[in-house]
Structure 1
Amino acid sequence: MEAPSITVKSVADGPQLKEIMKNAAEDGGNKLLVLEFMAPWSEPCKYMSKVLDGNPAGRGLAYDLRGYADFYALDITKFRQFAQRMTVEALPTFLLLTKGYTVLARVVGVDKEELRSSIMQEHRDKAAAGAGQEKVNPEQDIDEPLSLFSSPYAFLRARLRSFFN
């Protein structure tokens, strides 16, 4: 059995994620929040878990970037609606957020150098970021059910209704 990660923290449920985001916003720090949407059965996610966690001493990418970002893993089976709201279409997907919930970047896949460079770039640029970018509303986005687009045909039905009305 693998030792638990000390650098990537698993998020159990919506209330815990809300608390993490609230605490991050209140602490006023300059680190990014990195949310990793993953699945325990996904081979690419397993690979990135090893890249982030590194060896048993915890010397992976998350350890190397600990001064720049806090890493959290979200199991897609527990955060399905939140993943849909954030338009997660492939696993693993990493969202880089400011403490003010602005999504600065999205990294999809297993390219650790792309993830590293995105974190470093966004950490440098985040002071100028924010205008016109996607925001996460922890009070609404995490737990609220998807009403309009909860099925593959809901969008089409809504468009047809608006066309005929």
Structure 2
Amino acid sequence: MEIIIRDGGHDDIPAILGMLDSCVEWLVRQGRTGQWGTKPLSENPRVVESVTRHMDEGSVFIAEADGVPGATLTLTGAPGAYLSHLPPPGEPERYIHWLASDRRFQGHGLGSALLAHAAEETRRAGLSLLRVDCYAGGDGKLVRFYESNGFVRTETYRGTGDWPGQVLARRV
């Protein structure tokens, strides 16, 4: 399978929302509803606004598998406002938002390819800090995924409804 990473744009929003919905369906099938709930994220106006806003604030990338959009992430210069209570990193950074993949491509390395691309984009920008936050509840697989891609745990936090979150960082 050939993986190509390209710049994304507003025309990709339906595909990105489809990837997010695919993740929710997959998590629900596994009984792992704590991360994103049970309803398609594309039906949540706050999620659609967040995807669009982060795209406007930064750069979105799409990983295509044999020409089919299969995964996405967006890079901006800061975390979301929901993390404003955490201390700032003390240096410029790139921050990952909305990493998601169409679960049809599970196990093909699209997410890891996007994370490597984000690290390279961060380096190219002359920065050395790349951060992300994620769901830290349940079985911890998501945190371990980021760790397997070179990230280390930094701050833990509690989001809305006592949602367990973890911030991770990677030096590039």
* TM tier relative to shorter chain: under 0.3
Name the one with the larger strand percent. Answer: 2
Normalised by the length of structure 1, the TM-score is: 0.26
> Bigger radius of gyration, 1 or 2?
1
Normalised by the length of structure 2, the TM-score is: 0.25
